[in-house]
Amino acid sequence: MKKIMKLCLAFVLALSLCNIQIIEANNGINEFVRRLYKECLNRNADANGLQYWVNRIEKKEISVHEMVQGFFFSNEMNKANLNVWQWTDRCYKTLLNRKADAKGKEYWVNILIHKMSRREMLDQFMQANEFKKLCESYGLKVEQNTKPQTQNTTTGDALKDYVVRLYRNVLGREADSAGLEHWFTLLMEKRTTPYLVATESFFHSAEFNQRSLSSQALVNILYATFLNRTPDVQGNAYWLSRINRKESRDAIIHDFATSVEFKSLMEKTGWKARSNAYIAARLNNVNDILIVANKKHKLPDYYEPTGLVAPNVNHRNGTQFMRPEAARALERMFAAARQAGMYLIAGSGYRSYATQVSTYNYWASLYGYAGADRVSARAGYSEHQTGLAMDIGRDDGYAYLDTAFEYTAEAQWLKENAYRFGFILRYPKGKEHITGYSFESWHFRYIGEDYAKALVSEGGLEYTMEEYFGFEGGVNY
């Protein structure tokens, strides 16, 4: 009997020690995440965000590296608009737990300006022994990243060369470090496109417009900027003839920027490699406006976005809710539509997990589960649950959620203008095999003005998030 009692006592003691270790591990993760909020985002952790990151680490859905990337390349961090010096300070304090020394700071700032993207620099910091020891102090194990950096570095250099050409050729001067970093970062983060940087920024800048250029000088600049070479005889004559015919400068610049030769040069930079770590981190962050919800990407169970508000527009079927940034953008879009003589209504915005269960079951009762999968998302996979989507109709209710809506003036206006306010037509015609859903002329998704404009610039009004950001889609769960 004594032996049995001793064995039982030993078992209970071992179990207690195990529970203590689990609690300590959980506390370590919790405190590490709190630290990321404090040092990286410069604020205290909110309850939902804290729980989200802790759960993903505990379930091993992401690594420590991926979590850090999620913080540093979050929408909140982007809005902070840190310059290279501030970014370097943030890396030192967050990842190395100390202030930057003068020589080290100067070294990394120089690297950031001339050689690396911010993502590559962040990866380098996370390879440091200081970061590894910091993680270990919280009970976290960090696996060394052994993936080669060659492709990203080459991409960064090629893109930087393109920005340098814009400064030298279009503005007639060397790039200042802040400007070079600004445009390079926007391109690396795919918040703009090479086409937009040139046509809407550099060639429309006051600095360029102040230059007095001959027709030949303009042609030389266009060749050097977009094709990275001097004009050939035949091509030079062709472009001069168009200028002499008084064709608009914008039309000529557009044709250079959309030429096969320029597109080929940009492809060689690797800029279209969508599946980089930066985009992946944002697409999987529920707090980001780029969060993905499709048949291959499920939201966390019972996820509910914080701070939902009702946009100040006309509503159908009760008050609809969206995330604040999407709601404000919807208000601006509806106001612009009214000025164009279009009167719109917000039909269906945020839907909870439970509501989506009912919605899907309703369609399944009509069409069966296979049919429902073509027109409705299963609970946990719906964009409506993100608070960033809205089904939009006419104010008079005509053709609401009906295929006939496609042929209305309102649907056409929305399709052509939504991107100006940060929305895109999420499920275009002919893209069912990519998005996973039938064409919906009424369903618009908010991704922010920069991204919406860049997406449309590259692929047109019916380009999808799957195509632009390079994540998996399709008709099957």
User: Quick one: 293 and 405 in the same domain?
Assistant: yes
User: Quick one: 253 and 371 in the same domain?
Assistant: no
What pLDDT score does 201 carry?
Answer: 95
What pLDDT score does 441 carry?
Answer: 97
Instruction: Report how many domains make up the chain.
Output: 3
Q: Indicate whether 264 belongs to any domain.
A: yes
User: Quick one: 103 and 166 in the same domain?
Assistant: no
Q: Indicate whether 186 belongs to any domain.
A: yes
User: Quick one: 321 and 458 in the same domain?
Assistant: yes
User: Quick one: 8 and 102 in the same domain?
Assistant: yes
Contact 222, 197 (CB under 8 A): no
Distance from chain centroid for Cα 94: 23
Q: Indicate whether 146 belongs to any domain.
A: no
What pLDDT score does 115 carry?
Answer: 67
Domain end marker among 141, 173, 195:
141
What pLDDT score does 389 carry?
Answer: 98
What CATH number is associated with residue 23? Answer: 1.10.3130.20
356 token code pair: 């989506």
User: Quick one: 129 and 190 in the same domain?
Assistant: no
Domain end marker among 268, 300, 323:
268
Rg of the chain taking only CA atoms, in angstroms: 26
| Alpha-carbon torsion angle 34, 40, 46, 49, nearest 10 | -90
User: Quick one: 118 and 178 in the same domain?
Assistant: no
Question: Where in the sequence is the domain holding 394, given as residue range(s)?
Answer: 289-469
CA distance readout (Å), 52 to 139, 308, 387, 402: 19, 18, 17, 37
Instruction: Write out the chain's pLDDT in tens, 477 residues.
Output: 555 555 444 544 444 444 434 334 458 889 999 999 999 999 999 988 888 888 888 888 778 888 898 888 887 887 788 888 888 999 999 999 999 988 888 888 877 776 677 888 888 899 888 899 999 999 988 765 544 343 333 334 678 889 989 999 999 888 888 888 899 888 888 889 999 999 999 999 999 999 989 999 999 999 999 998 988 899 999 999 999 999 999 999 999 999 999 998 888 877 666 445 567 778 889 999 999 999 999 998 889 999 999 999 999 989 999 999 999 999 999 999 999 999 999 999 999 999 999 988 998 899 998 888 888 889 999 999 999 999 999 999 999 999 999 999 999 999 999 999 999 999 999 999 999 999 999 999 999 999 999 999 999 999 999 999 888 898 888
Distance from chain centroid for Cα 329: 17
What CATH number is associated with residue 320? Answer: 3.30.1380.10
Q: Indicate whether 276 belongs to any domain.
A: no
User: Quick one: 133 and 259 in the same domain?
Assistant: no
Nearest to 154 by CA among 266, 264, 269: 269
What gap in Å lies between CA 352 and CA 385, rounded to an integer? 6
One-letter-per-residue 3-state SS of 161-182: HHHHHHHHHHHCCCCCHHHHHH
pTM score: 0.70
User: Quick one: 65 and 173 in the same domain?
Assistant: no
